[in-house]
Structure 1
Amino acid sequence: MTGPFVRQHGPLFLDTDGGQVMLRGVNLGGDCKVPPGQGTDVYSDFSDHRTVSFIGRPFPLAEADEHLRRIAGWGFNTLRLLTTWEAVEHAGPGEYDTAYLDYLTEIARKAGEHGLFLFVDFHQDVWSRMSGGDGAPGWAFEAVGLDFTRFDAARAAHVMQARYDYASPEKLQAAYPQMSWGSNYRLPANGIMWTLFWAGRTVTPDFRIGGVNVQDYLQGHYLGAVDQVARRLAAMPHVLGFDSLNEPSLGWAGQAIAYRHLAMSETNPERPRIGPALAPLDAIAMARGLSVEVPVLTRDAAGAAVPTTTQVFNPGGVSIWRDGHGCPFEAAGLYRIADGTTVATGEDRLAAIDPTHDIYRPFFHQVADTIRRHQPGWTLFAEMDVFAHIAGRRFPADLPERTVNASHWYDMAMLYLKRFDPANHRDAATGDAERGSEAIAARYRRQLGSFAAESARFPGGAPTLIGEFGIPYDLSEGEAYARWAAGERDGVWDQHEAALSLMYDAMDALGLHSTQWNYTASNRNDLRVGDGWNQEDLSIFSRDQQDSANDDGGRAVAGFSRPYVRRTQGRLSSVCFDRKTRLFTAELQADAAIRGVTDLYIPRIQYPNGFVVRCEGVPAEIDIDAAGQRVTIRATASGAMQIEIEAAG
């Protein structure tokens, strides 16, 4: 990358000349969660987990220029570049895949050639591929004494490769409902691993692997993988920093060991979720090979989750502990078995844990220390578990310096139900009905504004970068795909563009940075495949979209390729884009002492017949590069400036 590089300064990102930079980017990419050829649309028993290679994710090097040029052409200037702990250290503890690290380094270097900033995201969902998601290597289960080949029989994990009938022509199957992967967070495999990862020293103080406590063992290896990538990228000026860890779960830390969440309460304000209400003790019993009967919640007419029935889990009595390995929670005295059931004993060490102070605070400092050994100026893009904000848990007060609030945000009703009808929508967090785009827009601003308010409380203030947001493109069971396949081109993505526009409108109004989820190079317009992971399909690109009329393969491009101020010669005050009239306005305080220009991205897709620029306030020199989709303005005096761009004619 040529030109000034960018670093965080309190609540702003500034380049080396002092200009303010807005980060608008995309996650690259969804299929980085799995090795090439091993997406969840094909069967695997994970027996080759030590020999897999993630080279080719997010795309082969030979395709890198094509994809990066497309991403930059849509106006993005930032990548949240995905990797996983498994990709780096799958072969065994301390055995790093140097060929993959070479590949990832080259992808990062090429991103800079295309003018893209990036930060690295060590991604995970529900711990690991073997427990229904991605992230940790398979040997981590073996190290703590778990046998992942028994997970399905014990119902200890909900894994597509174990539940889905790949021989069936049916793409949507009741045995593996779409968006059901998140149920793994409450099941035993996830609960055990996350609890040991975060709280092994507190909960199982005598459980040691290789002479160290299990918590130090697991976290140490995770941080070792982060260190391997950090040392490779340290000299690249376009690298902004590292994410702490994608959407981590707390396991059972902070929960009462026998508590089943059946309704909101003052001590637990989260809305209960549909599915089994497993207490930690229930999951521990299942892992031991005991059958347990638990309440199951379903959705009522108002959309709330209420207990309606019960279900027996692990009726076959399958233990997921490897032969010769006992349960560390029993060894630590958390429970005993009496008459075939688990009974809590002694002090509840799980409930005594404060997630903010005892878990996130030390972890954020550990990640920051790890990456800054190689590049002291890097930013930590911090995130907590996805329910932290809803539950009222806040970031620690004593965060590492140069920490960004990189929380995630989705319209959960749209994400999980795969429906978007502004005339009949619902806020999943409250259950409130919404009628019309204005009501939805107001909620988006309110929800996103609460993240910005928290960032303002960070020491010295901090930017808010929404690390993930986006929409499912397979709305209404893939209706748009069927229309596209039938030859329709006009209006196919209207619904998706409207939803994206509401999201970007809210972030523009609040001055937020963002990286949309996601760009998947291998995406297909197929309800079985999608992004290649658990039937999710949120990619803004698909090869199936490419034809003579849509060479770039983009989906709903007009919803996200919007005008914005990439860099300000001074400080940006406000921006607004009216999707219907195509009027874009920006206000800023120009500073003539800052070198360079105010740089605006003006996409051709919004102004196919050209545009007109008006600039008022301080005197300025304007340069229009319509072919390059850019307008640059150099203020020759300091003061307030107003910019308007509207469609020609």
Structure 2
Amino acid sequence: MPEEPCQNSNMDPEHCGFYERADTVTFVGKPFPLNEGYQHLSRIKQCGFNTIRFVTTWEAIEHEGPGIYDLEYADYLVGFLKLIDEVGGLYVFIDPHQDVWSRFSGGSGAPIWTFYAAGLEPRNFEKTVAAKLHNLARDPQNFTKMVWATNYNRLASEVMFTLFFTGSVFTPKAKLDEENIQSYLQRHFIEAFAFLVSRIKSEIPHVFDTCFLGIESMNEPNSGFYGYGDLYQCPPHQELKLDETPTPIQSLRLGMGFPEEIDMYSVSIFGPSKIGRRWCDPDGTKAWVTENDNKDNHYGFKRSPDWKLGECIFAQHGVWDTMTGELILPDYFMVHPETGEYLDESKFINGPFLDFWSKFKQRMREIDEEMFLIMQPPVLQIPPVIKHNSEYIDDKTVVALHYYDGMSLLFQKWNRMLNVDTLGIMRGRYLNPVFGLVLGESNIRKSIQKQLKGMATESHQNVGYNVPIIFTETGMPFNMDNKKSYEDGNYTSQEAANDAILSALEREQLDFTYWCYNPDNCHDWGDLWNLEDFSIWSKDDLPDLKLQDGKTYTEWLLNNSIKGKNFLPGSSQSMGQSSTTGDTESTYSHSNASINKELVREITHSYTDLNGKSSGNDWSSELNIDLSGGVRAINAIIRPVPLLVNGDVNVCEFDMESKSFHLEISNARFQSGEPSPSIIVLPEQHYSNNNFRIRVSSGDFELMQNPIMQWVEWNHCESSDKVVVMDVETIDEYADDVIFKKNHCGSLKAFACGYLSTD
């Protein structure tokens, strides 16, 4: 949503300039003003995350018109990346985000001029049932949960995605400046983000070697009408039906002002349930722009004379008759008009989607050869078959997948007794969806893990085992049980739900970025977008926290740190004295190794000050900033995490209830010179006041801290031929042995943790 004028999805369009200011909005300051960056970035680090998926939109860059870029916004993003680089220990990639095409069709993403380019009039979408907008709901607070997603199967989004990916196939008459609408839209989308990345490269090229990872392709692309077998019927793959749900031909007729009686649906555990019918009458209003609106002159469009404004573009290609409403070609989008080939979702992903990805990849590689390019296929669909195909993949290609628990999304409740195997049902693994039911919390957690593993396997099989995977979206809603937690402060359900997702990701060793961190989240309106409420942090959950500004990150840390925080009981502790290290006999059983000797080292501390130097005997110099206030479901969200691993992770498990952490690593690499430790964050949320014990099977380690983080540096590289193990567990008694060691700061460790420097 824009920063100025403020246009959150619950706001009345008549009072926030929703349509009138569409060309002149600014996104500068989203997600937060740069002077607030130290706080938010430090909190993200303190939660254990090291990667940020920076959500931006096509509209943020090119809202004024085709080819007109917002230079101030580009400079804002440059400033944001400078902050990331200064704070350290964080990586970032750009997400060209969209949902249901645009906020003018109920989501976010594309600028308003793209609708006018396609011949559509956004002001008429609600009346013609072409889109369902939170902004226009009679009671925004009771907007139907997840109904925004049904816009993918309403006219506005269906038209835009069809034209964007397959306009040259299905609408050859639709041309602007003698260029088909498909090429016109794709070119402008790709060039807008090429401009943004180029701006970063020209202004701050060094971040490509420090914190800037690269760019994702379009978020959650959709195939539009492509592959629809019968326009009289909703497509079989349309799992989500809520409120009034028109069939494709009903959408087309409504868009031309015809009245229709439409089926109404609600959601049940077994899928959509029909609850009645509703009469919808646009009263002659059309979803298509007319010549009288003068939008072509305003934006400089030179439209083909074969493309008549004010009439459905598909009717102009013989699909149906706008005079009688008769459907002439019900399978128009299922059969290729030229080849006669039958079309389906798989053909889309391996055809039009790949064509778009190829153009996107080629253009971004012109800007930088080394940054990561992250390909995102349509959500929950099987990735394209491109293994070993250099046109589509190189050694810096990544596949992006998304996963949410559908039951939790639709019902905004963590049901510990009943769930469904969503992926298994979508893949047709059950004769009847009822066989996809999952009973009991333990089995539900296993089912989530199985689904994540299945999605990763599909990607490896089709794209290649050497192509990394990242789940760029996963998460759980926090407004469960009708926001009960906001009244009593009990986030038990949210913790259980989030732990189920995060444990599954850990056990399958899958990389991810969590949806989401929203600095503006509040209890009344959640993330300020369609009543979604996913932010791990909310200002309404935050006790009074007053932070001072700082001209640099070091200055900010000094201004806001609490001096003299004591991590050991009593004040007579002898600092700097060596402890005795003892060996105990034990056996680890693991499928890859049997380790007969376990080296146990009680807590070994090495505290560091702001300059990366040992704090020595000066205990009062220890600094700490607690930014966990306002973090929700905190016991699940904040968890131990390996930030830098020397070797391959075999097992990584955290038990939220017992707070035990288990890590197994194999194939460590020995490098002469600088030590190459594994670095594991041990958050103070679980491990503080020496209430924990660390055991390692080999090597030695140091417990380190800076003002916002606590981590272990574990040197085990001399055991490269073994599986090495670390266990962390909480204990009742305090460990009182402390060793201070000098902090040897190398580049890899600096990247991983963001060591502080006076340089």
- Same topology, TM > 0.5: yes
TM class by smaller structure: 0.7 to 0.9
Q: Give the whole-Å Cα distance in 1 for the aligned partners of 2:233 and 2:66.
A: 36
1:541 pairs with one of 537, 542, 550 = 537
1:645 aligns with 2:724: no
Q: Give the whole-Å Cα distance in 2 for the aligned partners of 1:347 and 1:126.
A: 23
Name the residue aligned to 2:7.
38
Report the secondary structure of 1:373's partner residue. Answer: helix
Q: Give the whole-Å Cα distance in 1 for the aligned partners of 2:364 and 2:517.
A: 26
Name the residue aligned to 1:418.
412
2:90 pairs with one of 102, 109, 116 = 116
Q: Which moved more, 1:344-353 or 1:91-100?
A: 344-353
**1:65-464 map, 5 Å:** 65-114=38-87, 115-165=89-139, 171=141, 173=142, 176-234=143-201, 235=205, 236=207, 237=209, 238-261=211-234, 268=236, 271=239, 273-275=241-243, 278-299=246-267, 303-307=270-274, 309-324=276-291, 325=309, 326-337=311-322, 339-344=324-329, 348=333, 352-353=342-343, 354-389=347-382, 394=384, 396-397=386-387, 398=389, 399-401=392-394, 402-427=396-421, 430=433, 432-457=436-461, 458-464=463-469
CA 1:350–1:153 in structure 2 vs 1: closer, same or farther (change >3 Å)?
Answer: farther
Report the secondary structure of 2:515's partner residue. Answer: strand
Name the residue aligned to 2:496.
498
Name the residue aligned to 1:563.
640
Q: Give the whole-Å Cα distance in 2 for the aligned partners of 1:556 and 1:245.
A: 30
1:303-346 Cα offsets, whole Å, 9 max, x none, are 23254544444452321111130322122223334634333279
Q: Give the whole-Å Cα distance in 1 for the aligned partners of 2:8 and 2:332.
A: 43
CA 1:270–1:146 in structure 2 vs 1: closer, same or farther (change >3 Å)?
Answer: closer
Q: Give the whole-Å Cα distance in 2 for the aligned partners of 1:630 and 1:524.
A: 31
Q: Give the whole-Å Cα distance in 2 for the aligned partners of 1:296 and 1:43.
A: 25
1:593 pairs with one of 632, 648, 671 = 671
CA drift at 1:277: 5.2
Report the secondary structure of 1:154's partner residue. Answer: coil
8 Å CA contact 1:121–1:244 kept in 2: the answer is yes
Q: Give the whole-Å Cα distance in 1 for the aligned partners of 2:78 and 2:135.
A: 31
CA 1:395–1:63 in structure 2 vs 1: closer, same or farther (change >3 Å)?
Answer: farther
1:230-274 Cα offsets, whole Å, 9 max, x none, are 112332222111111111221111212525137xxxxx5664644
CA 1:189–1:34 in structure 2 vs 1: closer, same or farther (change >3 Å)?
Answer: farther
CA 1:421–1:347 in structure 2 vs 1: closer, same or farther (change >3 Å)?
Answer: closer
Residue 471 of structure 1 aligns with an amino acid whose one-letter code is M
8 Å CA contact 1:33–1:533 kept in 2: the answer is no
Q: Give the whole-Å Cα distance in 2 for the aligned partners of 1:78 and 1:89.
A: 26
Which consecutive segments of 4 or more residues in structure 1 shift more than 6 A?
Answer: none
Name the residue aligned to 1:55.
28
TM-score by length of 2: 0.74
CA 1:538–1:605 in structure 2 vs 1: closer, same or farther (change >3 Å)?
Answer: same
CA drift at 1:404: 1.9
Q: Give the whole-Å Cα distance in 2 for the aligned partners of 1:349 and 1:319.
A: 26
CA 1:518–1:331 in structure 2 vs 1: closer, same or farther (change >3 Å)?
Answer: same
CA 1:70–1:306 in structure 2 vs 1: closer, same or farther (change >3 Å)?
Answer: closer
CA drift at 1:499: 1.1
Q: Give the whole-Å Cα distance in 1 for the aligned partners of 2:71 and 2:539.
A: 30
8 Å CA contact 1:257–1:350 kept in 2: the answer is no
Paired residues, what number? 591
Q: Give the whole-Å Cα distance in 2 for the aligned partners of 1:183 and 1:33.
A: 23
CA 1:293–1:394 in structure 2 vs 1: closer, same or farther (change >3 Å)?
Answer: farther
8 Å CA contact 2:400–2:471 kept in 1: the answer is yes
CA drift at 1:639: 2.3
CA drift at 1:286: 1.9
8 Å CA contact 2:523–2:540 kept in 1: the answer is yes
1:475 pairs with one of 468, 471, 480 = 480
CA drift at 1:538: 0.5
1:519 aligns with 2:492: no
CA drift at 1:54: 0.3
Q: Give the whole-Å Cα distance in 2 for the aligned partners of 1:531 and 1:378.
A: 30
Residue 243 of structure 1 aligns with an amino acid whose one-letter code is E
8 Å CA contact 1:451–1:464 kept in 2: the answer is no
Residue 213 of structure 1 aligns with an amino acid whose one-letter code is N
8 Å CA contact 2:639–2:682 kept in 1: the answer is yes
Name the residue aligned to 1:7.
none
CA 1:34–1:358 in structure 2 vs 1: closer, same or farther (change >3 Å)?
Answer: farther
Report the secondary structure of 1:386's partner residue. Answer: coil
8 Å CA contact 2:421–2:451 kept in 1: the answer is no
Residue 669 of structure 2 aligns with an amino acid whose one-letter code is D
CA 1:299–1:128 in structure 2 vs 1: closer, same or farther (change >3 Å)?
Answer: closer
Q: Give the whole-Å Cα distance in 1 for the aligned partners of 2:661 and 2:710.
A: 14
CA drift at 1:565: 1.3
8 Å CA contact 2:57–2:96 kept in 1: the answer is yes
8 Å CA contact 1:445–1:506 kept in 2: the answer is yes
Report the secondary structure of 2:652's partner residue. Answer: strand
Please, which runs of 5 or more residues in structure 2 have no aligned partner?
292-308, 337-341, 426-432, 546-626, 733-759
Name the residue aligned to 2:567.
none
Identical aligned residues as a percent = 28
8 Å CA contact 2:96–2:219 kept in 1: the answer is yes
Q: Give the whole-Å Cα distance in 1 for the aligned partners of 2:116 and 2:498.
A: 43
Q: Give the whole-Å Cα distance in 1 for the aligned partners of 2:649 and 2:380.
A: 32
Q: Give the whole-Å Cα distance in 2 for the aligned partners of 1:207 and 1:496.
A: 48
CA drift at 1:377: 1.2
Q: Give the whole-Å Cα distance in 2 for the aligned partners of 1:469 and 1:157.
A: 25
8 Å CA contact 2:221–2:379 kept in 1: the answer is yes
Larger of the two Rg values belongs to structure: 2
Q: Give the whole-Å Cα distance in 1 for the aligned partners of 2:633 and 2:398.
A: 29
2:693 pairs with one of 583, 606, 612 = 612
CA drift at 1:554: 1.0
Q: Give the whole-Å Cα distance in 1 for the aligned partners of 2:728 and 2:659.
A: 8
CA 1:358–1:394 in structure 2 vs 1: closer, same or farther (change >3 Å)?
Answer: closer
Please, which runs of 5 or more residues in structure 1 have no aligned partner?
1-31, 263-267, 485-491
CA 1:635–1:467 in structure 2 vs 1: closer, same or farther (change >3 Å)?
Answer: same
Residue 379 of structure 1 aligns with an amino acid whose one-letter code is F
Pairwise CA RMSD: 2.4
Name the residue aligned to 1:576.
653
8 Å CA contact 1:621–1:636 kept in 2: the answer is no
CA drift at 1:223: 0.5
CA drift at 1:51: 0.4
> With CA pairs under 8 Å and 6+ residues apart, which has the higher RCO, 1 or 2?
1
CA drift at 1:537: 0.7
